[in-house]
Structure 1
């Protein structure tokens, strides 16, 4: 699971899809966590975490994979799938079976993304 999580983190930062993260990509990825980063930038980064195939949507399978990385063996797959199905059902406003960036934004609009994705400075 750790290896899969590390590969996922590299893929999130790897903007050009080259399979590795250069310094510019690393800095660009970290900038989403800056106090100077705006809410849209933070939302786009969070969306990228879930959009594994980079098609602009979060599918049922993608949401399951990412949540599985987060919860590990704390939930049975069946329980996790129920959470995924309910999340997709509630967030998928146009009923196409996947979550767009706009739907994702609406889903998290009541959370303070700016604060939860900002690193404190020393």
Structure 2
């Protein structure tokens, strides 16, 4: 499994499925492996940031630069783990963990007002002013019981995003 030109064995499939809490079926895992091999242009067994940017949907994502910190240099198992948060079989907890990692840009386990503002800036671009962004974010935090100077930890994200209606899914085409 280290070299993307090798074949995926039944053991590899089961290992990846176990690692990703069975977020994808065996058939979906094989399809993801084929896509991984297409993206791994260097055949080194890892996908670089540049290779990820070759996916048009990823390249135009306003959070692409933030996501690249998470995905640069992934092997196949890590690639599937990254995508597993988008599986319809992923738990709400797994989805929130993924979102938290995107917001926690320095990986220190907490998200500041500045981190939240940076993401909001990435998402809104020039469509709203900096003052409007700060005002909206401050109001959202206050409604959730937090202040501008609050530092949010994972449990806070669970409290805020714990709505069972959270949708964050992709469909894996199966041949």
CA contact (8 A) 1:64 1:81 kept: yes
For structure 1, which segment, 94-103 or 42-51, has the greater mean C-alpha deviation from structure 2 after superposition?
A: 94-103
Q: Counterpart of 2:99 in 1: which secondary structure?
A: helix
Q: How many aligned residue pairs are there?
A: 114
Runs of 4+ in 1 over 4 A off after TM superposition: 92-96
How far did residue 25 of structure 1 move? 2.2
Structure 1, residues 12-58: CA drift from partner, whole Å, max 9, x if none?
Answer: 33xxxxx5333332211101111221111111011111111111111
Question: Highest Rg: 1 or 2?
Answer: 2
Which stretches in structure 1 are left out of the alignment for 5+ residues? Answer: 14-18
The question of 1:44 aligning with 2:87 is answered: no
Decide whether aligned partners of structure 1 residues 91 and 22 sit closer, same or farther in structure 2, where only a CA change above 3 A counts. Answer: farther
State the match for 2:35 in structure 1.
none
Distance 1:74 1:93, change over 3 A: closer
What are structure 2's unaligned runs of at least 5 residues?
1-59
Structural RMSD (CA): 2.7
TM-score (norm 2): 0.56
Q: Is the aligned partner of 1:119 residue 2:170?
A: yes
Structure-1-length-normalised TM-score:
0.76
